[in-house]
Every structure is written in C-alpha cells, then in structure tokens.
Amino acid sequence: MTVLLGTVAIEPNRWGVIDRSRRPTVVLADWLEAIAAAGFDGIELWEGHLSGAVVAAAVPVDVFNTYVSFDDDDPTERTTVAANVARTGARAVKVNVGDDPTSEVAYADRLAAFVGVLDPGVAVLCECHAGTVAEDPAIAARLLAAAGPVDRVQAIVHTHEDDDHLRARFGAYGERITHVHVNHLDGALAAPRLVDVADVLAAKAELLDALGFKGSWTIEFVHGVGTTDDRPDLLIERAAADLAVLREVLDR
C-alpha cells in the first residue's frame, strides 16, 4: 500500500491561527530528508509548501492538495493550480467543492473544466468533505459522474467517518474512491497517536477492505497539531511512529 505524509500535518499555520492568509511558516525543503527517512512513499503536498526545491526533491509529490474555490465562475485560479500540479508531477490533485446546494451543476461543470486543463492521466480527488454539497453521497455521485470518467474524477474518504456513511459513499460511487485520509481529529481539533486508536483504525481498515477499497493512504494529521508541540521536528517523529502502526494494520 502506498502511504503518504500530508505536509499540512507539519504546518503550524494550516488553519490560519498564525496568519489568517494561511501563509506557510515551514520551508518544506528543509524537512524532506526527514520525511524520506521516516519511510513514507511520498507526500501529499499542501499548495502553500510548493517551491522549486520541493519539485526537485527526491521525495515524490504523489498528491497535490489545493483549497482553490469552485464557487467562482472565473477559472483563472484553477488554471494556475493545474499548472502547479504539472510542475510537481503529481498523479492526482485533492479538491473540495463549495456548500451551495443550488450550484451542483455549476460545480460539476467547473470540475469537468478543471480536469480538462490538467495533464492527461492526472486525476481529481474530491474530498467530498463535511460542509460541502458533496458530503451527501447521492449528490456526490451525480456531481462526480457529470464531471468526468472514473479514471479522471475520483474521491477520498476519511478514517474518522461513521461506518454507515462510509457504506453509503461506497454504495453511491465506490468505484471512484481511491484514497484515504488517516484523520482522527476530534471536535477540539486534537489528534491522537495512532497506537492509542489502533483497534479503531484496524476496524476501519477492515471495513474499507470489505467494501472493496484498494487505493492509497495519507497520514493527514498527527498528535501534537494545534498544541505547543506543533513543530515540524516533533510532528515528523510522531508521523513516523504513526506510519509504523498503519503499515502493521494494513499488513494484517
């Protein structure tokens, strides 16, 4: 199984608590050697960490993580994102649509146009997040089908999702679900060590396997985010420990 580290996990300003513009405080190039040494297969690159040094690095950028808006009819920002995805050589780009229930068709059209400006073979990964119209599996299934074929328009699920919701998502568009975010944030945006929730993680992995999931994984958040330990050195150490737990679970 391919397992990535989401670089948003090591960025203290991920939620704009330092600078509301979410300007990055971490020079990712300084930490790529440590990420590689931890054993990750690559990274899910938060767009704020994009730089020439990252693009040229030995740690592959597998997924590009963008928060570009799909509420704006003007495609300029999305076209810029597509160019940045091409710079990294990523195989996929993670996106979120908006929360306007009257814009379902517009979101699908804008997603389709975005796919059209991506390099051939690059897939869009809809996070289908809570707080977006795609949280509803039926809406997501329609939207994704309208946006493009399965090889170009895909989806992400999360380990914190309710089992019934996961079943509903797989029932609606399971063939499009190709990636998992390992995310156990609670309501206070605190993340546990995976060793402390290993049984929960194992049960979720078993369910995903039973539902037919065969894709890749990203460790999205680790213990220490949003605390005084929110430092890249400590977070990468904890991500390495989480990676060992995840590998053990996936190898069962």
Task: Report pTM.
Answer: 0.95
**Residue 21: predicted pLDDT:** 67
pLDDT at 252: 86
Predicted pLDDT of residue 142? 98
| Structural domain count of the chain | 1
Q: Provide the sign of the torsion angle of the four alpha carbons 105, 109, 110, 112, taken in this order.
A: positive
Task: Write out pLDDT tens, residues 60-116.
Answer: 999 999 999 999 999 999 999 999 999 999 999 999 999 999 999 999 999 999 999
| Cβ-Cβ contacts under 8 Å for 99 (sequence gap 6 or more) | 131, 132, 133
Taking the CA of residue 33 as centre, how many other CA atoms within 13 Å lie in the half-sphere pointing to its CB? 1
Tell me which residue range forms the domain holding 177: 3-250
Q: Using the predicted structure, report yes or no on whether residue 143 has a pLDDT greater than 60.
A: yes
**Does the pLDDT of residue 183 top 60, yes or no?**
yes
The separation between the first and the last C-alpha atoms of the chain, rounded to the nearest angstrom, is: 12
Alpha carbon 115 to chain centroid, angstroms: 17
Neighbours of 77 (CB within 10 A): 13
39 phi-psi bin (left φ>0, alpha ψ -120 to 50, beta other): left
Rounded CA-CA distance 235/229 in Å is: 8
* Mean pLDDT across 23-38: 92
Average pLDDT, the chain: 94
CA of residue 246 relative to chain centroid, distance: 16
Asked whether residue 251 carries a pLDDT value surpassing 90, the answer given is yes
For the cut 70, the answer to whether the pLDDT of residue 243 exceeds it is yes
Q: What percent of the chain has pLDDT over 70?
A: 96
The predicted pLDDT at position 58 comes to 82
Predicted confidence at residue 215, as pLDDT, reads 97
Q: For residue 98, what is the domain's CATH number?
A: 3.20.20.150
Q: Mean per-residue pLDDT for 220-229?
A: 89
pLDDT value at residue 135: 97
Tell me the pLDDT band of 188, cut-offs 50, 70 and 90.
low
pLDDT, average across residues 196-217: 97
Using pLDDT thresholds of 50, 70 and 90, give the confidence band for residue 53. confident
Smallest Cα–Cα separation from 96: which of 66, 137, 74, 141? 66
In this prediction, residue 34 carries a pLDDT of 95
Torsion sign, CA atoms 75, 50, 91, 14: negative
C-alpha distance from residue 85 to each of 24, 51, 65 (Å): 18, 12, 9
Using 50, 70 and 90 to split pLDDT, how confident is the model at 189? Answer: confident
Q: Which amino acid is at 43?
A: I
> Is 15's pLDDT higher than 80?
no
Q: Given pLDDT bands bounded at 50, 70 and 90, which one contains residue 55?
A: confident
